[in-house]
Amino acid sequence: GWLLAKSALIVNSPSYSGQNGFASQKKASAIFYTHEVLPHVAGLVQTICAGADVAKAMNDGLADLMNP
């Protein structure tokens, strides 16, 4: 996330002389990430910190649903 924000700041600076298409795509990506991904981060902290045990439990649960 921080690298995306940094690159968006660079392409948005007055000194940036790169391609406009690239700059607009970089800005759009940063806006999407900010609006769609970042709001979910706080809710995913426990899952991320729990590690593979949670992923395995989810996988086992899905397998049970698929093969009753």
Distance CA 25, CA 3 (A): 15
pLDDT on residue 64: 67
Report pLDDT digits (tens) over 57-67: 776 766 666 67
pLDDT on residue 46: 77
Report pLDDT digits (tens) over 8-44: 888 888 877 777 788 888 888 888 988 988 888 888 8
- Mean pLDDT throughout 49-53? 74
Distance CA 42, CA 59 (A): 22
pLDDT on residue 23: 81
Cβ-defined contacts of 22-26 (< 8 Å, 24+): none
